[in-house]
Amino acid sequence: MRVFQEWILTPWRLAIHEPTRTAVVADMHLGYDLARRQAGEAVPNIDWDGYLAPLHAAVSTHDIESLVIAGDLFEKAFDPELWRHLRKRLSGMGFSIVAIVPGNHDRGLCEQKKLPIYPDGFMLAKWTILHGHGASQADKTVLGHWHPCVLRRGRKTPCYLVGPRRLVLPAYSHDAAGVNIWRHPEWRGMRCCAIVDGVVIDAGFVPGKSAGTHATNKKSRPWEGRLQRS
């Protein structure tokens, strides 16, 4: 699905800025498995092939050269071993990581001087790529952090949120709990583009009214019928 005439919203939980051939992904949360094991849970090690399959599908389908990571690359803190594995595998796919914007989980990331770290956001054309956990005065932004989703058949379905000058990405990690946008007033009046059965569909506007955005009936749930794909 294309928005703003330059962004492609993909079913792989990442957006592609077509003019610059750049993919933007947020909330990868590397090390989630390790954090759970440290908490005493019996979970397996990361399956790199499965974890990176969405990125592989994206680069196989679209003409992508660069990757920007919009925060929360790691679950708890910078891990040099995980970083080496990620960089090696992405390089093998043809990706070049041009920017990493630190998120609230990325402790110690800003201290890595050899990495392309942009703590104040990364400019991609006229868009500012941020994580989204702090305030910003940027004009046109792409954010992560919120893990937006809607409920479909009682289960959380990841979605993108599109406003007049703002794009919110779903979490790349399947382990990242989603925030139901129906319950969050921040997203009222923004368009919900949900990932359903491997396709991004326009599910309509989030009910309510936000300044400068489309107004809707607060009692309506425009996506309920649209999400019921077979």
C-alpha 93/C-alpha 91 separation (Å) is: 5
Return the domain boundaries, the chain: 2-226
Q: For residue 230, what pLDDT is reported?
A: 43
Q: For residue 4, what pLDDT is reported?
A: 95
Question: For tokens 């046109």, what's the residue?
Answer: 140
The CATH label, of 3.40.190, 1.10.3470, 3.60.21, 3.30.110, for the domain at 2-226 is 3.60.21
CB 51 within 8 A of CB 90: no
pLDDT in tens, 94-120: 888 999 999 999 999 999 999 999 999
Q: Which residues of the chain are under the pLDDT cut of 70?
A: 36, 208-230
Rounded to whole angstroms, what are the CA distances from 24 to 37, 42, 62, 65, 133? 29, 32, 13, 11, 17
From 104, 22, 78, 31, select the one nearest 55 (Cα to Cα). 22
Q: What is the pTM of this model?
A: 0.88
Rounded to whole angstroms, what are the CA distances from 145 to 8, 62, 93, 211, 212? 19, 25, 26, 22, 23
Q: For residue 211, what pLDDT is reported?
A: 39
C-alpha 104/C-alpha 119 separation (Å) is: 11
Q: For residue 153, what pLDDT is reported?
A: 80
Tokens in use for 112?
């890595």
Q: For residue 209, what pLDDT is reported?
A: 58
Q: For residue 80, what pLDDT is reported?
A: 93
Q: For residue 214, what pLDDT is reported?
A: 46
Stated length of the chain: 230
